[in-house]
Amino acid sequence: MDLDVNTLFLVTMNIEVMLGLLLLFAWVQNFDKRALAWWGSAHLMRAMSIMLFGLHGSVPISLSIDVANAILFGSFALTWSGARVFERRPPEPAFALFGVAAWLLVCRAPGLSEMAELRSLVGSGIVAAYLWLAAFEFWRGRAEALVSRWPAIFILFAHGALFLLRTPLSAGLHAPAGNSIVMSGWLQLLSLEALLFTISTAFLLLAIAKERTEYRHRTAARTDLLTGVVNRRGFLEQTAAAERAATGARPTAVLVFDLDHFKTINDNYGHAIGDRALKIFADTAQAHVGAGGLVGRWGGDEFVAVLYDASRDDAATVAERIQLAFQKAAAEIDGRPTQGTVSTGMVFNPNASFELTALLVHADQALYRAKTEGRNRLAIAAADSAAAGADALSNVVSLGRRSAA
């Protein structure tokens, strides 16, 4: 059954309006989702351009073609701007208007305004550019693990490619004189594709915004808000996942840190300075542990870290570097002579499977030894999975700047 192109235009316009209002309604419910306002406005602008296209023949061509296309290009610029806002980047309004300005210039330039195929190619290129830029914004934000971003990238890129190809494809599908069947079918295909695109993108954009909110809630539940590192729950979950993913034995070091005389810092200089000390330590530990491990706040002024696939000496070196760097960074905080230091307990498991609970017991025992022997030092406990718990705890060596006790 043949589909009437004007009917498809009318259906598409109505759907654009409904989807635009849906996105705006979702934004009104949560004003933090600013990208939804951009995307909702883009759909409403597309509806306006489709309405003008549908009036072709009954209004001046400058309105039904030139202005309609300018509004259409502006809508895709808003889609790209919304993607930038979603990825926490400025919307770049001047560049967003570049496509509209380029189109109006082509429409008014002597000679170019009569070249229909060139105008069509320029317009298709503008749309494809904005869609590909939107896809690129989602792609370069891929570090944030949102599943919905990948189909959004594919849909935006594919629609941009099809839009870019419509001019050469249309040129190759000119119908013989008196026969409009081929061109009618081609217009139907384009209209159907545009309809499917607008529906799929709207729901994908809603899905990605919803997934972002859920992702942030999950992250907040596992993150220490003061320091930015994972909290106890997050640390246990991530290390448990690493243990499950391990295919065999791997050398593992677990470190427990306790800020020395932290209560004195709070009492003498106030909790704001104490909070700054915690943040400084968390940043210092993360910088030195890097991607090869994980740092978490265990509670209060106590932190934990795990290092995977590191030797005993390398792990001890990391611990000492953290101590030295923190001592330097916390010697004075906001003009206050805090003289912050940290004591560290470490356990190294050379070849057994990773069992955090057991290793934490050994590391905590080593930390107790470091604190009782004067603080601001590293104590290392030897843990052998084949040894009994008491035997494993008996071999504790205190190191003051790596000098054997």
pLDDT digits (tens, 9 = 90+) for 62-85: 888 888 989 999 999 999 999 999
Rounded Cα gap, residues 124 and 224, in angstroms:
48
Backbone angles phi, psi at 304, to 5 degrees: -130, 155
> Around Cβ 349, how many Cβ atoms within 10 Å?
23
Enter the DSSP assignment of 348.
E
Range 5-221: architecture per CATH: Up-down Bundle (1.20)
Domain ranges of the chain: 5-221, 232-404
Global model pTM greater than 0.95 = no
Please state whether 27 falls in left (phi above 0), alpha (psi between -120 and 50) or beta. alpha
Q: What is the pLDDT of residue 167?
A: 60
Q: What is the pLDDT of residue 404?
A: 33
Length of the chain: 405
pLDDT digits (tens, 9 = 90+) for 137-188: 999 999 888 999 999 999 999 999 888 876 665 554 444 444 444 445 555 6
Rounded Cα gap, residues 393 and 144, in angstroms:
41
Rounded Cα gap, residues 3 and 12, in angstroms:
13
pLDDT digits (tens, 9 = 90+) for 185-194: 555 676 677 7
Three-state secondary structure call for residue 250: coil
**CA-based radius of gyration for the chain:** 31
- Render 97-145 in DSSP notation, one character per residue: THHHHHHHHHHHSTTGGG-HHHHHHHHHHHHHHHHHHHHHHHHHTTTS-
Q: Domain 232-404 classified CATH 3.40.30.10?
A: no
pLDDT digits (tens, 9 = 90+) for 13-26: 899 999 999 999 99
Fold match, 5-221 / 232-404: no
Distances (CA, A) of 193 to 45, 148, 285: 18, 21, 52
pLDDT digits (tens, 9 = 90+) for 348-383: 988 766 678 888 999 999 999 999 999 999 999 865
Cβ atoms of residues 27 and 40 within 8 Å? yes
- Where does the pLDDT of residue 247 fall: very low under 50, low under 70, confident under 90, or very high at 90 and above? low
CA-based nearest residue to 121, from 155, 169, 185, 60: 169
User: In this predicted structure, which of 112-121, 220-229, 303-312, 330-339 has the lowest mean pLDDT?
Assistant: 112-121
Q: Give me the amino acid identity at 359.
A: L
